[in-house]
Amino acid sequence: IKTDAVEFDDWPIITDNNIESTNFLRTESNERMGKISKLVENNEVVTIGGFIGKTVDDTTTTYERGGSDRTAADLGILFHKKYETSIDFEKDSSVVSADPKIVESGLKEVIQLSYNEARLAGMFGMKILDPIAIKEIVEHGVDMPIKITNIKNPEKITIIKRELDEQKGHPIKIVTGKENCAIFRIETNSIQKLLTSLEKDKRYSEFIILSPFTKDGVELSRILFLDGDYVKRNEKYLLGFDSLATITYNRGVITLIGDEMWRVQQVASRTSAKIGESGLNILNMDAQEETSRIIIVVEDAEENIRKAIKAVHQEISEINFI
């Protein structure tokens, strides 16, 4: 087999210099594709290191934990117009209906996920695939299949793609959870400036906007940040958009994933009741047909998140769907 490797001097993955949240720059990366394109044309196998990038002035950068998934996604984005491109990740497991370290029995293999389902599952705790890798593929308008192969049992695979084949299994595919979250409350008339700054200045997107509420005649919006440590590091920045804004730490979230969750009967009431039966207090719940998710917020203490995931996962198989 004829092989070669990409030298760092010829690195095609160009990023910004955002230390907290490094971002892939497609236009600048396209300009550095000459060497790797020749290697691909002249070899059967080409290797490249994962999670490493460089800025336009050749400063070394790194992606976050799981960043090698992003390297593969970025290369797929760069090559997809020239080749029929797909990505195959070899992992310790294909995707199953919950974390096997938490739920020990009754797990179901997930055969297919949409980009949206995979992105949400990754954001809310599924560790098999970096959710930012999916986000980058979607943002750049690329449509390429992603295969996750169980390296211990290669017959078990999960396919992730934009448009799914007809689905026959349960519409709720995954129950997952995330610890160390924070909820930021801000007046609704101030939230847009914050969201624009997070997107343009911080280029940070690991948060979810929850349903607003009204208190004393003032409408307040809520942002669920999925990394409480990020909020702690940026408290001054966040509070600068509204001096009366408040932050609540030590929150955990349990999420149900499925683009066709609307087909599941009484899902919100059944799952919330099951969490209550487990002795947990639901602090917030956000369920909207359009978002393909149900978010349940509890206190992040002791084994709360694990208990909730077990309880909800057990209940899912008992709920009918149309």
User: Going residue by residue through the chain (322 aa), what tens digit of pLDDT does each one get?
Assistant: 999 999 999 999 999 998 878 999 999 999 999 999 999 999 999 999 999 999 999 999 999 877 899 999 999 999 999 999 999 999 999 999 999 999 999 999 999 999 999 999 999 999 899 999 999 999 999 999 999 999 999 999 999 999 888 778 889 999 999 999 999 999 999 999 999 999 999 989 999 999 899 999 999 999 999 999 999 999 999 999 998 999 999 999 999 999 998 888 888 899 999 999 999 999 999 876 666 678 999 999 999 999 999 999 999 988 888 7
User: pLDDT value at position 213?
Assistant: 93
Report phi then psi at 202, rounded to 5. -85, -25
**Same domain for 10 and 138?**
yes
Residues 115 and 196 in one domain: no
Q: What is the pLDDT of residue 281?
A: 94
Interhelix angle 131-139/115-123, rounded to 10 degrees, is: 140
Nearest-angstrom CA–CA distance, 226 and 200: 19
Single residue among 133, 161, 189 that ends a domain in this structure: 161
CATH number, domain with residue 221? 3.30.2130.10
137 falls within a domain: yes
List the end-to-end C-alpha distance of the chain, in Å, as a whole number.
51
Domain-located, residue 178: yes
Residue 136 lies in a domain: yes
**How far is 275 from 210, CA to CA, in rounded Å?**
20
Give yes or no: residues 149 and 10 share one domain.
Answer: yes
Q: Is residue 269 part of a domain?
A: yes
- State whether 148 and 55 are in the same domain: yes
For residue 98, the enclosing domain spans 3-161
Residues 52 and 10: their CA atoms lie apart, in Å, by 13
Q: What does the CA dihedral 123, 120, 78, 51 come to, rounded to 10 degrees?
A: 20
Cα-based distances in Å from 147 to 113, 140, 272, 310: 10, 19, 33, 27
| 129 and 45 together in one domain | yes
Rg (CA), the chain: 21
Helix axes 267-277, 304-316, angle to 10 degrees: 130
| 157 and 258 within one domain | no
- The tens digit of pLDDT for each residue in 202-211 reads 989 999 999 8
Distance CA 238, CA 241 (A): 6
Q: The domain spanning residue 31 has which CATH number?
A: 3.40.1160.10
How many distinct structural domains can be found in the chain?
A: 2
